[in-house]
């Protein structure tokens, strides 16, 4: 069980006097005899922002961080060291580092969300909550604790199997040029609308470097850099052939090979659905306007499809985020008793940017 010793100067005692978190923009000098091993992920894991959103990190990044820490715990060279995760002092890096540390506690030591969160509970008010990916003012927020609760519930209900998640496949198909799709659960794929001629999204890396340059010394980065180059802990690829699915033909092929039997379109038509139908994949039109909440008749049609469709269902709107995430989230709330903040957090772990603007408040109601 983790003990709880937190202070306002940035340090967090987490597990058996071994694991700490701190933030600074000042250089850290470490002697060769130091019992402390500093490391950072600020230059390795980056959240891709849509607008003013800054996290949480996606599930592949969470697993990468867990594997990195596991490699440190197993290292003979570091076995007598205390580990300190260092982040920049800006709000996004602090919150994302704290979330990763708590997620590691939850996953590695089989803790409950409350147990994993307890070490930072006294300083939780200092972490900026996560907002949606919309362009309007934020009206709904999720916290680090919500992310832990969503992750925990997904695992306990069998919706998420960390051991079988293929990081290489996840990171390949989340890219716009490869399909812009994510498996939310074994039942649901969320994806952006294919087009007759695929285009790329206007997205950019959210990379507020701050003043961390002087901090990233060799004694801090050696192990983390080596791990990110040569990770053997993560199952990569599972001998599956990965190919672009950013055209209708590519999507049809991918769906046929992965047990998708139905596609639900929520937006205006940007492609001809005949290729899906000719391939034996059902195609449903459940249109409602971009940025809005689903009418009751659409919601109930979707629920009925989920409960009668024998295979997996792929759902898309224009970007595969707002309307798509809202319908999937509503079904998970109904079926698995997620709370709104929990399901929104889980959706964003699996597909960043899901559920936007008033759709968040709709799920809350």
At 89, is the secondary structure helix, strand, or coil?
Answer: coil
Spatial neighbors of 154 by CB under 8 A, at least 6 apart, are 160, 185, 346
Report d(CA 248, CA 195) in Å as an integer: 7
For residue 1, the cross-strand partners are none
Two tokens, residue 224: 């983390």
Nearest Cα to 348, choosing from 48, 43, 57? 57
β-pairing, 12-13 vs 5-6, is antiparallel
Active site residue 354: no
Report d(CA 251, CA 194) in Å as an integer: 8
Nearest Cα to 225, choosing from 25, 45, 30? 45
Given 66, 102, 317, 354, which residue is catalytic?
Answer: 317
Report d(CA 173, CA 180) in Å as an integer: 6
Report d(CA 104, CA 205) in Å as an integer: 24
Instruction: Write out the catalytic residue numbers.
Output: 317
């Amino acid at each position: 069980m983790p003990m709880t010793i937190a202070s306002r100067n940035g340090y967090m005692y987490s597990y058996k006097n071994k694991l700490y978190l701190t933030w600074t923009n000042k250089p850290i000098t470490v002697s060769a005899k130091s019992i402390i091993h500093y490391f950072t992920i600020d230059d390795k894991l980056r959240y891709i922002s849509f607008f003013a959103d800054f996290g949480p990190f996606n599930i592949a990044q969470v697993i990468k961080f867990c594997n990195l820490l596991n490699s440190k715990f197993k290292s003979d060279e570091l076995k007598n060291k205390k580990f300190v995760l260092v982040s920049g002092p800006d709000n996004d890096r602090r919150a994302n580092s704290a979330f990763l540390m708590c997620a590691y506690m939850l996953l590695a030591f089989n803790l409950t969300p409350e147990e994993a969160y307890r070490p930072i509970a006294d300083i939780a008010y200092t972490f900026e909550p996560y907002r949606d990916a919309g362009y309007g003012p934020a009206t709904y927020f999720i916290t680090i604790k919500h992310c832990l609760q969503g992750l925990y519930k997904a695992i306990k209900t069998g919706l998420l199997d960390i051991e079988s998640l293929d990081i290489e496949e996840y990171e390949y198909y989340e890219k716009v040029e490869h399909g812009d799709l994510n498996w939310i659960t074994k039942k649901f794929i969320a994806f952006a609308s294919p087009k007759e001629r695929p285009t790329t999204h206007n997205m950019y890396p959210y990379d507020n470097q701050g003043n961390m340059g002087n901090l990233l010394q060799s004694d801090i980065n050696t192990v983390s850099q080596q791990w990110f180059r040569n990770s053997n802990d993560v199952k990569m690829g599972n001998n599956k052939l990965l190919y672009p699915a950013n055209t209708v033909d590519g999507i049809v092929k991918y769906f046929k090979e992965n047990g998708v039997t139905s596609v639900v379109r929520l937006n205006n038509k940007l492609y001809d659905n005949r290729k899906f139908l000719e391939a034996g994949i059902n195609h449903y039109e459940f249109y409602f306007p971009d940025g809005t909440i689903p009418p009751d008749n659409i919601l109930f049609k979707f629920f009925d499809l989920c409960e009668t469709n024998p295979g997996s269902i792929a759902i898309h709107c224009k970007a595969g985020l707002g309307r798509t995430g809202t319908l999937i989230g509503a079904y998970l709330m109904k079926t698995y008793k997620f709370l709104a903040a929990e399901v929104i957090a889980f959706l964003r772990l699996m597909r960043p940017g899901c559920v936007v603007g008033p759709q968040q408040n709709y799920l809350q109601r």
